[in-house]
Chain A
Amino acid sequence: MRMAVKTSEQIHAIPATVYFLALATLTSGMLADDGQRLYLQHCASCHGAKNEGVSEQFEHPISGPATLEELAAFIELSMPADDPGQIVGDDAKQVARFILRDFLSSEVAPAVPRIELVHLTVSQHENSVADILARFGGKSPVNTAGGLKGEYFLTREFWKGQPVVSRIDRSVSVDCGKASPVPEQLDRNNYSVVWKGSIFAPDSGDYVFSVRSPNGFKLHVNDDDVPLIDNWVSTPEDPDKTATIKLLGGRWYPFTLAAFRLNDPSFSIDLSWQRPGRMDGPVHSSFLSPEWSPKVFVVSTPFPADDSSVGYPRGTLVSREWDQATTSVGIEIGEMVVANSKQLVGSTPDKPDFANKCRRFCLTLAQAAFRRGLLEEEQNRYVDYFFEGDGSPLIALKRSVLSVFKSPAFLFPEIVQPDRREQLIANRLGLFLCDSVPENELAEKVKTVLGNSVPVDELTRVAWGLADSETGQAKLRQFFRAWLKIDDAQGLTRDPERFGGFDDRLVDDLQESLIRLVDEVVGSETSDYRQLFLADHLWMSPAMKEFYLGESGDDSPPGEEFAERSFERMQPDSGERAGLLTHPLVLSHLAYYRTTSPIHRGVFVSRGLLGLGLKPPPVAVEPLDEGFDPDMTTRQRVEFQTRPANCMSCHEVINPLGFAFENIDAVGRFRVTDNDKPVNASVTFKTPSGQELQLNGPRQLAEYLVTERAAHRHFVESLFHHVVKQPVAAYGENRLDELTDAFVSSGFNIRKLFVDIAVMAAVFEKMERQVVTE
């Protein structure tokens, strides 16, 4: 059925079929015939007597899924396409029944949504490995942001003495020339500086570090032994050095940058980084901490992308590449363990207890990886078997480690559930809220909580702890980054003649600006989802002010305060802005090289925000460009191209949602004319519940969207998919509505929704599905 269908209500089709079949058996004959008669009379001329389609009318078969009510309503409102309104009321229902029974019956009973067996997603795999191995490293200190510890030494050999100055430096950007950095204390010709502490990676991906200095320096990131950049022998003729390292988001990494001057002509050093998807820029002090943190084991094996065929990434594909990747990871970890066996195992090969200690290490590792205690046969299989005989304990260690990380228990988290319910709940909370294994004590916390008589409320408090942790925040941030394509700067090139100044630097600022808006809303106390659309302010850098407001920029050179101070919270365009809905980055993604794309914008709202299901166009259509008719505005052109009836079945929904944005051009600027004609952003839109609305411009669209139930439901469902990676209907027919109701009554609190989803799914027991919940 090529119409807007609420995909989240698919399961209602089951009761519909059941209802229909029951009805059919009770009242056989007459009703069925009536529906068929009406169909042949009114519908077959376009759809074909057997729903085979008719060329030049409606070429494709009617297809589902659809409920009886939806189909009947659609027929009533929109069919026949050339003269709707002929088949209404009961007639419409009968035709709908006929169509469902004869043409859509195989489609109308989709698979019953259930909790499927899935393996770890890439993010879950990487984070789990890091946290499993972190268990052997002892507790890490709490990191407070604000800069690095800067220690200044009297000689180059800083490892031999004590610093004469020790202070907090907010950044590493020094240019002393010939002078000393600390004149009273250090001789200007002979000293070293060590900046150390930790650096925070907000998101997972590759980070490119750059150090510019004509002096000797060494940079350590996540490895206190092997430097990431070893430039201790200086290369003044080639002072720029870069190196790339993969980091996991939401974590602190040990960091050291040491440099020295020994009779060099001058001293200067500058540190910058390129975060995933972003350009090179200074490292802001909020990402630096003077405290040490332990090394994080970051797997270097690349994984194939997760299967996203259902609309979000899940571990439902077991491909050869994935299997090979899990083997490489196991080997990588095994090698690391052998190389660090002294610290991890607590013994050395020459000692008599070595084999035994290796064995015990493997046992502890397996328990952490399986997220529970081991059954006896598992202990035999994964540990003891490898340690039998006289072979080298190091080889046994490596093999046991490899087997653990290729095991079903590690890769498929729910394949064999732990005996203790509190362990199960803890495991789920860890996976849902932090994409990782739970920390050791979490199961105990849950146990205490479940001893009380009001489990869910108390459990929620435990869950808040996880949600507010740095890895929890990273997981929530990941949702928004994917949804709004914040990291994707590809394809954002614009015609320089029309949009001079829209360059890579500006785009990078737009990325930062959107991140700030999202962080501001999500991180606020109310965490109010509506503010994502109603916020009338924009965070603007000097380059953005110049481009969007025509203000001549103050060219403040990048200094330590660059990232913070130079983004100003402003209210441009006299209150016409509507949060992320009109954010230049979002709307620029939804535009072409020279013109806007109301169709992409309309699809973004209808599919991405309202959750309406839209099939792709029936035939491949190339969009008409400006050359088609120089006198037309973009709106006029799109209206012209989508006017045929079989386009309109979708475009009557898409177009108004897209035209409402016509005031924002292809680079996110506010405009009142398009092609020298006044912009018409006034639209009539029929809501999913059938109400007809007049809207003018994106602000009014935003004000509507925050009241629309379909939008709330879709947001909840999308976040659910991200958090749990299962269909929400598998947790109960009414689950989505319950979660949405709670979301609404909490004041649309995003962080609370994050927690509620995780808690609900964590305590869920499959048997409950038979019973109507709550």
Chain B
Amino acid sequence: MIEHQAGSHKTGNVTTHSINRREWIRRLGIGSVAAAIAGGLPSLAFGGGGTGRRPVQRLIVMFSPNGVVPESFWPEQAGDLATLPEILQPLDEFRSRTLVLHGVDNRVRGDGDDHMRGMSCLLTGIELSPGNIQGGGNTPSGWPRGLSIDQEIANGYQSNAETRCRFGSLEFGVLVPDRADVWTRMVYTGANRPVAPISDPKQMFRKLFGAMEDRESLASVLDVVSADFQAIRSSISAEDRHLLDDQLEWIHQTGQRVQVEKESEQIVPPEIDTGCELNDAHMPEISACQQDLLVAAMRMNMTRIATLQYTNAVGNARMNFLGIEEGHHELSHDPDEKKESVEKLVRINRWYCEQLAGLARRLDSTPEPGGEGTMLDHTTIIWTNELGKGNSHTLSNIPMVLVGGGLGWRQQECLKFKHLSHNRLWISLAQSMGHSITTFGNPKLSRGGNVEELYA
């Protein structure tokens, strides 16, 4: 959403230190074969440049609420992803490009209840300020004290000519409620600076392609207006005609400019029907529409960083299209013993996983513009959640499922960590995307920095 990052602040520190070549290759995110070749090349400066351009890397963070059903979500053992648990089965065709991370904890404490911290400390890794928002328990809070990792990376990308795009990032929503608080906002450009996702595909279409629409409109209008000025011109006194002549000249020039822009326009607005109704019953259509827009925007290099937020923390969508009458949040608070609820939660989360697969499929069926492979090879989707589990409100084992490529991380695998602070995951992510930081959010929780085990 934000094109310029004025007003936000960076929390990362850039330190220079000598690194060995293997580490460098890992950080560039090149696959193992290419790494072997690259090993023979003259040394490149860290971060790209020199004789080769850094390959395109993209990030999409996808959010769904209320935790998961752990026994149906997590692979039983670490290691090769031979089979997928029930909730993750829709990812079967992408198994070779999937990485599941178990044992990542949101260790941010302080003000705010678990949902609030679960949501607003998820991407920021930093405490919430004191404030007046009272959750189900604990102290009231305000906004987080820092920016989110997607904005941190976007700032870096926008400050570099090679990675700069029209938009630093785009924030897509699906049925996100129209109020601003720590349950509905996940992305922050800085302390106290939430970013609202756009939940209306029409509005998003307008944001992305509005200028082109305007150009079309203008072209058709100029003819009308020009004809009228011409008709009137002859009845105006000679001394006044110069005004109309000037006007006609500008109209003519605008018409020419519009024509030139149309002819050289690389961007073609996609044919997407953005007229879906914005309510729970139409959630699948909205999801499809927003995903189409997201992939189109990335394909045209309008941005490389995006978030896709399904409802909000404590989101209570009624997913009738799954045959479920109760709201998601209500169900998530039922005890484990209530089997019907657990079964419904599994179906809900599986549906979310289908959305993830659908997004991956769209990326995978689009060739990488000006590059090799498909867009999915150059995009990492991270599916995550505010909580580990709904009824316990635990912030341990936050769901982290990565699909796609480009980071140089392990694939077709499940890694199991022991209380890995999620700050370190974000640090690793940023470094792998070419944005060098050694700490993010709360510095204590960043200790240890980059996580070696992630890399291939």
Please report A residues at the B interface, Cβ cutoff 8 Å.
111, 114, 116-119, 215-216, 230, 232-238, 260, 262-264, 316, 318-320, 323-324, 327, 330-331, 334-335, 349, 378, 381-382, 385-386, 395, 398-399, 402-403, 406-409, 412, 415-416
Contacts and interface: CB of A to CB of B under 8 A. Distances in A.
Contact of A236 (B142, B179, B220, B232): B142
B429 to A, nearest CB: 27
Given A381-B224, A407-B225, A415-B232, A327 B243 contact: no
B243 A316 contact: yes
B240 A398 contact: no
Given A232-B180, A331-B218, A381-B228, 18 more contacts: A118-B243, A233-B181, A236-B132, A236-B142, A238-B192, A262-B134, A318-B250, A320-B250, A323-B247, A335-B206, A349-B275, A378-B228, A402-B218, A403-B225, A406-B221, A408-B225, A408-B244, A412-B243
Contacts, number: 110
A408 B229 contact: yes
A403 B130 contact: no
User: Could you say which of A216, A233, A237, A238 has the most chain B C-beta atoms within 10 Å of its C-beta?
Assistant: A233
B131 interface: yes
Given A320-B250, A399-B221, A234 B243 contact: no
A237 B130 contact: yes
A331 B250 contact: no
B116 to A, nearest CB: 10
Contacts of A330: 221
B143 interface: yes
Closest 6 CB pairs of A and B: A117-B240, A323-B250, A318-B246, A234-B132, A403-B221, A216-B132
A80 to B, nearest CB: 41
B264 interface: no
B182 A233 contact: yes
Interface string B65-95: 0000000000000000000000000000000
Contact of A395 (B143, B217, B244, B250): B217
A215 B132 contact: yes
Contacts of A233: 131-133, 142-143, 180-182
Contacts of A319: 246, 250
B131 to A, nearest CB: 5
B254 interface: yes
Interface of B: 129-134, 140, 142-143, 179-182, 192, 206, 214, 217-218, 220-221, 224-225, 227-229, 232, 236-237, 239-240, 243-244, 246-247, 250-251, 253-254, 275
Contacts of A408: 225, 228-229, 232, 244, 247
Contact of A331 (B192, B217, B246, B247): B217
B192 A323 contact: no
A389 B329 CA distance: 48
Contacts of B129: 235-237
Contacts of A407: 225, 228
B229 A399 contact: no
A241 to B, nearest CB: 10
A237 B143 CA distance: 11
B183 to A, nearest CB: 10
B236 to A, nearest CB: 6
16 contacts: A216-B131, A232-B179, A233-B133, A234-B132, A234-B142, A235-B129, A236-B131, A236-B132, A237-B129, A262-B140, A323-B250, A381-B228, A385-B224, A402-B217, A407-B225, A408-B225
B149 to A, nearest CB: 21
A124 to B, nearest CB: 16
Nearest to B194: A233
Given A216-B132, A233-B133, A262-B134, A331 B142 contact: no
A235 B142 contact: yes
B142 A323 contact: no
A232 B214 contact: no
Contacts of A264: 132
Given A318-B246, A407-B225, A408-B232, A114 B180 contact: no
B220 A262 contact: no
Contacts of A234: 131-133, 142
A403 B224 CA distance: 7
Given A263-B134, A399-B220, A416 B181 contact: no
A399 B225 contact: no
A267 to B, nearest CB: 10
B274 to A, nearest CB: 11
Contacts of A406: 221, 225
A349 B202 CA distance: 14
B218 A327 contact: yes
* Among B217, B246, B275, residue most surrounded by chain A Cβ atoms (within 10 Å): B217
Contacts of A116: 239-240
Contact of A230 (B180, B229, B246): B180
Contacts of A395: 217
B115 to A, nearest CB: 14
A482 to B, nearest CB: 24
